[in-house]
Structures are given as C-alpha cells and as structure tokens.
Amino acid sequence: MLLQVAHPLVAAGVFDHSDVRRDLWRRLVHTLRALYLIAFGTKEEAERVAEVVQTVHTRVHGATRTQLGRFPPGTPYSASDPELMFWVHALLVQRRWRPTSGSSIRCRAKIGSATTKKWRWSPVCSGRPPA
C-alpha cells in the first residue's frame, strides 16, 4: 500500500478524503478487506464491494494544494482517473506474484494460477465489466 501512495495524486486523494491521519490501521483494514473480497471472494462479494468502492471514489476528487513532485499546485486529481486506477491496480498485481525466495516460487505460482482467474473481477472496481 505504501507504493500506491507513492504516486503524488493518489496520495493527495488518500490524505484529503480519508481518515488515514486519524486512524491509519482502520483505513488499512478496510482497504485490505475490500482487496481480499475482490481477489478471493465470490463473484457476488467482489461485485458488492466494487460497488461500494466505486461509490466512495466518486466523491474523491480535488486539486493539489502544494507542489507534489512534477505536479504543481492546483493539479486536479480524481479516484476515477483511469491512469491513477491503473497505478494502484498494477502495484496490487505486481506484489501478489513477486517471488520472495526460491522455495516460495512454486507455491506462489500455484496461488498465482488460481488467483489469476479471481483477478478478472478487479476491473469491476473501475466500472468496467469483468472479461
């Protein structure tokens, strides 16, 4: 999750529109629960949580107040921005299948094969129908 907020506009959305400053752990648990249901839940669970995520994300938009890397003050951001959604999704997928040691490669490959099918539901979060 830390890499997700490494993108300045994602970080702006998280910090401006969530309770992360007051309760980091609560925010983390809610995010992980949603990701878990999308990745491992039934199609119905994934669609239900995706609807909630979409609803919340429609309210997450604004403009940066300060210079954030290459983004000057006033740069608009939106949780519905396809580029920002791709950033977050790509990091989720990359972390899921990155082997950590030689002994875990086979295990992760098996998990990866099984969960690859589940990840087809993740586009639901961005408002696109599953493939």
Over the chain, what is the mean pLDDT? Answer: 76
Q: How confident is the model at residue 15 (pLDDT cuts 50, 70, 90)?
A: very high
Q: Of the spans 50-59, 88-97, 109-118, 120-129, which averages the highest pLDDT?
A: 50-59
**112 and 119 Cβ atoms separated by less than 8 Å:** no
Percent of the chain predicted with pLDDT > 70: 68
pLDDT digits (tens, 9 = 90+) for 41-84: 888 998 999 899 889 999 999 999 999 999 999 999 999 998 99
Q: How far apart are the first and last CA of the chain?
A: 26
Smallest Cα–Cα separation from 66: which of 24, 8, 19?
Answer: 8
Give the span between the Cα atoms of 98 and 110, in whole angstroms: 13
Report whether pLDDT(128) > 90.
no
pTM above 0.85, yes or no: no
